[in-house]
Amino acid sequence: MESISDQLKNMLEDKNIYRSGNLFKCILGLNELESTIFSFLLRNKKVCTEELSNALNKDRSSIQRALQNLIELKIIKRESMSRKEFFEFKGKNDINKRGYLYVYSAKDLGFVKKQFRELLDKWYNSMINYIGNLDSTFDCYKNEGRLC
């Protein structure tokens, strides 16, 4: 695993520290596909799996796995929508307007920002506590011959 100082050095050298994909990876642990899908959903509302698959040139199963991970992180939402409503929303005609499909949208950007801040605050506080208790780690080494 790369150290924090190495990660920051690389980000600053590459001037990529503010790229959303890097932030999504760092804060949420998203992989490249999940980051791309999340970015796509931030710009587009009510997107179906087929649209994502076509836009990103990825197979449907990969898209569905990534969507499931994003749902579990609570940064996107899934809703059922009739095909008729969906194609009206998209401004397209569909011969078969019967049936339902799932559509995906990113949660409100304000909500996502708040969630990012909470995760960073939680991580920061845990690191402060860890550093504050660092002396007990060395006490453990004295007693057991290894770091705890």
39-86 per-position pLDDT tens digit:
899 999 999 999 999 999 999 999 999 999 999 988 999 999 988 888
Per the domain annotation, does 118 fall within a domain?
Answer: yes
Distance of CA 64 to the CA centre of its chain: 14
Give the contacts of 85 (CB within 8 A, at least 6 positions apart).
Answer: none
Minimal CA–CA distance to 119: which of 19, 10, 24, 3?
24
* 59 shares a domain with 115: no
Per the domain annotation, does 67 fall within a domain?
Answer: yes
Per the domain annotation, does 86 fall within a domain?
Answer: no
pLDDT at 14 over 60: no
Helix, strand, coil shares of the chain, percent, nearest 5, are 65, 10, 25
More confident residue, 26 or 95: 26
Domain that holds residue 19: 4-76
Question: pLDDT digits over 102-128, tens only?
Answer: 999 998 888 888 888 888 888 889 888
Per the domain annotation, does 96 fall within a domain?
Answer: no
pLDDT at 134 over 80: no
Identity of the amino acid at 62: S
Per the domain annotation, does 85 fall within a domain?
Answer: no
pTM: 0.71
Identity of the amino acid at 60: R
Greatest Cα pair distance, the chain, in angstroms, is 75
46 CB burial (10 A radius; 0-12, 13-18, 19+): middle
* Structure confidence at residue 108 (pLDDT): 85
* 53 shares a domain with 13: yes
Minimal CA–CA distance to 22: which of 12, 11, 13?
11
Per the domain annotation, does 81 fall within a domain?
Answer: no
Angle 93-97-102 from CA coordinates, rounded to 5°: 100
Per the domain annotation, does 27 fall within a domain?
Answer: yes
Run of H or E residues at 80? strand 76-82
Minimal CA–CA distance to 75: which of 40, 117, 109, 121?
109
Question: What total number of domains does the chain contain?
Answer: 2
Per the domain annotation, does 141 fall within a domain?
Answer: yes
* 71 shares a domain with 23: yes
* 55 shares a domain with 14: yes
